């Protein structure tokens, strides 16, 4: 199955009324033609609550890669290290994203880290400030990207953490890790907020009109099990930002481009007789489909009652 072309589309739909209205009038001709050729694959489909730690596309990707799909326990950081040619060495790793929490009486909202304007220089400077505090608790931080560091420490073994996509621009309280397991992280978070609130690092940012960095989010934690290398499916992220911001006009335009590009390409392969896989993901479910033999009745039904994605979208 690993050599079968597989297109995995995150944020393909939302339960939002605005999304459903957009889909009702959005022509996706290649997707509709492709859906008419595919059958549902229950073994690779999944459904969970919107408050689950892992988003549907993460669960689907983990399953495709042969990684643990358990909610919040796919070791993405350790897997990423391995992909970069740096063995995880059986240690527990996690991603740490510096961010800003906007705290009110009834919400703790995580702002988009990309809006912080962190550069490699400023991110490394911040890393140098906070690393000693983490090291005291056996957590070793390593620079990876301006808005993402790697962390290694026994604390991350078996720790369920919520995907950054789950909490972005939302109230994080529904996705906080288990209080007993993450007591150290909660204390560190409080310490970082006190440390950074009046720190010269943020004073300098304020002088340049940049937002304060006052917290961090841990995600992708765990220890990498022994796995067989499996090719990753094609996973375009062009729908992500617009969906998270509920900008359905931009999202619809991105879907049209996706339909004319990767979806049309997968359709061509299917029409040429190749086996293909398609996974459509929303906030709740991942719907897996694949080419499968169809009887005469199914072919006739597909001809007279063509499938439209807009009809399938509400189940995602």
Q: What is the DSSP string of 244-280?
A: HTT-HHHHHHHHHHHIIIIIHHHHHHHHTT---EEEE
Beta strands in 111-267 (DSSP E): 140-145, 148-152, 215-223
Residue 79: closest CA among 150, 1, 147, 166: 150
Q: How many domains, the chain?
A: 2
Phi, psi for 186 (deg, rounded to 5): -65, -40
Question: Does the residue 18 lie in any domain?
Answer: yes
Q: What is the mean pLDDT of residues 225-229?
A: 74
pTM of the predicted model, to two decimals?
0.90
Q: Are residues 281 and 307 located together in one domain of the fold?
A: yes
Q: Are residues 240 and 215 located together in one domain of the fold?
A: no
Q: Are 32 and 309 in contact (CB under 8 A)?
A: yes
Q: Are residues 246 and 195 located together in one domain of the fold?
A: no
Q: Are residues 53 and 173 located together in one domain of the fold?
A: no
Q: Are residues 49 and 188 located together in one domain of the fold?
A: no
Q: Decide which of 223, 257, 292 is a domain's last residue.
A: 223
Which pLDDT band holds residue 141 (cuts at 50, 70, 90)? very high
Phi, psi for 143 (deg, rounded to 5): -70, 140
Which pLDDT band holds residue 88 (cuts at 50, 70, 90)? low
Q: Are residues 112 and 245 located together in one domain of the fold?
A: no
Residues whose CB is less than 8 angstroms from the CB of residue 120 and which lie 6 or more positions away in sequence, other chains included: 143, 146
* Segment holding 147, helix H or strand E: none
Sign of the dihedral defined by the CA atoms of residues 236, 242, 245, 248, in that order: negative
Residues 27-36 pLDDT 10s: 999 999 999 8
Q: Decide which of 184, 199, 223 is a domain's last residue.
A: 223
Helix boundaries (H) for 84-135 = 120-135
Distance CA(287)–CA(44), nearest Å, equals 8
Domain of residue 102, residue span: 76-223
Residue 303 has what pLDDT?
A: 46
Distance CA(101)–CA(113), nearest Å, equals 10
Share of the chain above pLDDT 70, in %: 93
Sign of the dihedral defined by the CA atoms of residues 261, 265, 268, 270, in that order: negative
pLDDT: which is higher, 85 or 88 = 85
Q: Decide which of 194, 223, 252 is a domain's last residue.
A: 223
pLDDT above 90 for 162: yes
């Amino acid at each position: 199955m690993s050599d079968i072309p597989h297109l995995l589309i995150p944020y393909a739909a939302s339960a939002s009324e605005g999304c459903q209205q957009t889909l009702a009038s959005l022509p996706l001709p290649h997707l509709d033609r492709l859906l008419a050729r595919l059958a549902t694959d229950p073994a690779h489909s999944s459904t969970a609550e919107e408050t689950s730690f892992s988003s549907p596309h993460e669960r689907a990707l983990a399953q495709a890669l042969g990684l643990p799909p358990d909610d919040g326990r796919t070791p993405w950081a350790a897997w990423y290290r391995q992909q970069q040619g740096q063995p995880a060495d059986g240690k527990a790793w996690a991603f740490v994203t510096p961010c800003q929490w906007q705290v009110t009486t009834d919400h703790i909202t995580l702002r988009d880290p990309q809006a912080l304007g962190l550069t490699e220089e400023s991110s490394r400077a911040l890393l140098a400030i906070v690393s000693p505090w983490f090291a005291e608790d056996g957590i070793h931080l390593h620079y990876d990207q301006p808005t993402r560091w790697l962390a290694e420490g026994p604390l991350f073994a078996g720790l369920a953490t919520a995907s950054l996509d789950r909490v972005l621009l939302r109230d994080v309280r529904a996705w906080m890790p288990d209080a007993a397991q993450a007591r150290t992280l909660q204390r560190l978070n409080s310490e970082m907020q006190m440390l950074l609130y009046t720190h010269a690092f943020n004073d300098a940012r304020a002088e340049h009109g940049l937002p304060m960095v006052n917290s961090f989010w841990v995600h992708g934690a765990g220890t990498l099990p022994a796995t067989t290398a499996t090719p990753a499916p094609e996973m375009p992220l062009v729908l992500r930002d617009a969906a998270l911001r509920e900008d359905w006009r931009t999202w619809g335009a991105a879907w049209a481009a996706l339909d004319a590009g990767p979806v049309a390409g997968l359709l061509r392969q299917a029409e040429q007789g190749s086996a293909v896989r398609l996974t459509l993901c929303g906030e709740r479910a991942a719907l897996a489909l694949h080419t499968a033999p169809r009887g005469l009745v199914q072919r006739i039904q597909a001809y007279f009652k063509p499938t439209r994605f807009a009809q399938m979208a509400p189940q995602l």
